[in-house]
Amino acid sequence: MGEVPLARLWQLPDGTSCLLLKNPRADNWEIRVLRGSETIRTEHFGHPIVAMEEAKQWRALYDHAVEAIRRSPLQSPACC
């Protein structure tokens, strides 16, 4: 038996999502960032709380990237 997805920790409007997984035969937890069927990032942790805290930080990184893509280089912030 392979890893078991336990929870979707977050999902962004562009389809990027983060899953918490557990391999029943291993004593570790995995968080995996996906966009569609592509795995963007993955890391293993010894404790699920540590994994979930790291996933929060990753969300900030990927959410910031989504906002940067949405804002065209030709758009400028409203001024005065």
In the chain, the domains with their CATH numbers are 4-70 (3.30.67)
Q: Calculate the alpha carbon distances from 56 to 41, 61, 79 in Å.
A: 14, 9, 32
Q: What confidence score (pLDDT) does residue 39 get? A: 96
Is residue 74 scored above 60 in pLDDT?
Answer: no
Q: Calculate the alpha carbon distances from 35 to 8, 45, 49, 50, 78 in Å.
A: 13, 21, 23, 23, 31
pLDDT digits (tens, 9 = 90+) for 7-22: 999 999 989 999 999 9
Predicted TM-score (pTM) of this structure: 0.76
Q: What confidence score (pLDDT) does residue 26 get? A: 86
pLDDT digits (tens, 9 = 90+) for 26-63: 889 999 999 989 999 999 999 999 999 999 999 989 88
